[in-house]
Structures are given as structure tokens and as C-alpha cells.
Amino acid sequence: MNLNYEKSSIELPEAWRAKAPFFLAAGVILLMLGFLCAFGGNSNGEDNSLGFRYLCHSYLANFVYVFTFTLGALFFILVQFLTRAGWSTSIRRVAEILMMMIPYLGLLFLPIIAMLFWGSSALYEWNGKNIHNSVIASKASFYLSKEFFTARTVVYFTFWILTANWFFRISRAQDESGDAELSLLRQKWAGPLIMLFSLSASFAAFDWLMSIDADWYSTIFGVYLFAGSQMSFFAMMIVINMLLQNAGKIQKLVTVEHFHDMGKFLFGFVMFWSYIAFSQLVLIWYANIPEETFWYQVRLDNGWMTFSYCIIPIHFIIPFLFLMSRHIRRNRTALTIGAVWLLFAHWYDMTFLVMPNAGPAQLVPLFGHLLGGFGMLSIFASMFIWRADGVPLVAMRDPRLPEAMSYTNPIL
């Protein structure tokens, strides 16, 4: 394949670069507005007031919401090399940029750590001084102490950042040399790293999200979050690639076949998430013991019932039926609609996981939480632009790029 290409066609759109500070400012403002709404009529200034609980939970849910895109990107990169995939070569760089946002997003976790050391138990009950629940108290002495929690979080981030950096550095080195050995090197290490990844992602889900209900546990919880994370990652990839193409970039490099395949993954992970979510539910429903069922009870009481039941059509039935046809997945507009819908569904899922623990369902704090979600997305956009600035959007000298350009999906 000849390497004659317009260098500008694989660069970040000029217009986007100027927008980054605006996105950041808008994001911060939206987050603040969201916080205000969370407090709306619920604050008495105390640590464990309802308003503060809404605020903390909303922040955590929205943080995990955007963080899972990058976590999904890291897994995607690992699995591409593990399976020696050629089709994804032309879309891999965008995923690599997403993956390289983990250090940036790590900064957004600092407020949660700060809140722990400030001594607040509004989010994590186990951080409180007088824990009334004996199960939580027994865990809080060691595993769920703020020091160990922080240490584990640091370990997860260190591992993710080192892995992402290593893959990105080699990918960039290949941009210069085009050396096939660099691909083989990454293939060699993808296997061991993916095992460590699955452990770290699972335990991060246990620590960050499941420990909100520290006396409840579900061993499938890590997989649950992983399923949502992969699904939202593919939705994000589709949206970003569409936006880049609409801005006149990477138009020939990312073909309808790539969108079709990302759409298939999106569809597959909708099903996978549902499968995992249902697996978790049916075991707990069947055993019907109070130690486990209360997690669902919390999500059905205090006005959350309608919200919780709506996750079934929003996260499963509607996108499943919508994305089933290949004609939808090969249609730019339709696929983008599906992807945007699932980005919302993932936010809805994170809300479902976290917010009922804060308190009863109230319209104003929930609206604030939605504003916060948009704020986080906005901050995410600014980070993406800064991270992507100066990086070619396609790994042009990857020896397998021609393969990615020429493959087609069979006509079914």
C-alpha cells in the first residue's frame, strides 16, 4: 500500500482544538450546577446530610461513567493484540488515545480519596467512626480501611497507566519505523497483561462501586461493570469516529465495515451486559435471602422502582431490537443514534448502581446528577482533545493497515 496521504487528514480538526478550554469550563460549571441541585433543599450543612450524600454519590457515578470508556479502550487494545486482529488497525489509534486518558481521569478520582481522608462517611459507610452494621465493621477494620483502599486504587491506576503508556509508546515508535517486530512484541505481552487487567478491573469495581453497600456482595459485579464498560467504549468509539469523519478527517481510513463491526460489538455487549445483569439478579431472586436481596430492595424502594424497572427497556430491549439489523449497523445516522442511546443507557446504569444508596429518588437532585453527567462528558471531551492533539489519528505505518482497509463483511 502506498503511503501517500494528506497529513492533515489524520490530524485532530483545527476547530476542535480551540474548543477544549470551553469544554472544560462548561464541564466544571455543569458539575457545580449539578452539585447545587443535589443540595437543593436537602442540606443542613452536616457531613451525612442528604444533600451531601447525593453530591458524593452523583460524583462517583458520573466519574465511573466516563472512566469506563477509557477502561474499555485499554481492554480493547489488549484484546486486539491478543487475537492478532488486523481489521481494527485503522481505528486502533483513537482507542489508544482514549486509553491514554486514564492518567488524566485519575485526577478526577482524587476528590473521592480526599473525601475519605477528610473522614466523611457520606459515600462509603465503612469510613465512618461508629459503624452500626457488624458486617461492615468487620470489613472496615482492614480491607475497607481508607489507607488500604487508597493503596489499592493507586495500584490499579499504576498498572493501567504503565500498561497504556507502554502500548502507546510502542505504537508511536511504529509510526516512525513501521517495524513489524513492534507489533509482535505487543502481541507477546497482551496475554499476561489481559489477565492482570481482568483482576484489576474486577477489584476496582468491587472497591469503588460495590463497597458503597459494604455488607452486600456479588462475585459477578466486576464482570457486570466490565460489560457496561465495553459497551460504552464501543458507543464512544462510534461517536468519536463519526464526529471526526464529519469534520473531514480519516474518511477513507475508517470504512463502513469498521462501523459495521463496531456496531456488532456494541450489539453483542448490549446482550452480554443483559446476560450478566440477569445472572446476578436471578441467583439473588432465587435464593431469596435477606443478606443479598436488600440491594435490589434499595433499588425498588423510596421512589426508585419506576427508575429501576426502566433499565430493562432502556439498557436491553430497545437497543437490542434496534441494533439487530445489519442495515441499521451499516447506516451512519442510525448507528450513531444507537451509540448515543447506549451512552445514555450506560449513564442510566451507573445511576442505577450508585444513586439509590444516596437516598430517596428526588427530581431535583436527579436532574443535578444528569447535569453532572453532561459536565463529566464535557470535561472528558476537553481531555480527549488535549490528549489527541499532535497525535496522528491513525497508525499509518502499522504493517497491517492494508488489511484493515481491504476487508469486508460478507453479505448476509
**Binding-site ranges for other proteins (CB under 8 A):** 278, 281-282, 285-286, 288, 324, 326, 406-408, 410-412
Q: Minimum distance between the CB of residue 224 and other proteins, rounded to whole angstroms? A: 16
For other proteins, the closer CB: 246 or 297: 297
For other proteins, the closer CB: 43 or 279: 279
Output the CA torsion sign for 96, 172, 190, 398: positive
For other proteins, the closer CB: 87 or 348: 87
Q: Minimum distance between the CB of residue 346 and other proteins, rounded to whole angstroms? A: 22
Long-range CB pairs of 207-212, under 8 A, 24+ apart, other chains included: 207/149, 207/152, 207/153, 208/60, 208/64, 208/112, 208/153, 209/60, 209/64, 209/353, 209/354, 211/124, 211/126, 211/144, 211/149, 212/57, 212/60, 212/123, 212/124, 212/125, 212/354, 212/357
For cell 477502561, name the residue: 71
For other proteins, the closer CB: 10 or 276: 276
Q: Minimum distance between the CB of residue 292 and other proteins, rounded to whole angstroms? A: 14
- Spatial CB neighbours of 260, under 8 Å, sequence gap ≥ 6: 326, 329, 330, 409
For other proteins, the closer CB: 124 or 267: 267
For other proteins, the closer CB: 186 or 329: 329
**And the C-alpha cell for 302?**
423510596
For other proteins, the closer CB: 38 or 405: 405
Q: Minimum distance between the CB of residue 231 and other proteins, rounded to whole angstroms? A: 19
For cell 465495515, name the residue: 257
Residue type for position 178: G
Q: Minimum distance between the CB of residue 396 and other proteins, rounded to whole angstroms? A: 21
- Spatial CB neighbours of 253, under 8 Å, sequence gap ≥ 6: 9, 10, 90, 394, 405
Q: Minimum distance between the CB of residue 403 and other proteins, rounded to whole angstroms? A: 9
Q: Minimum distance between the CB of residue 253 and other proteins, rounded to whole angstroms? A: 17
Contact 407, 257 (CB under 8 A): yes
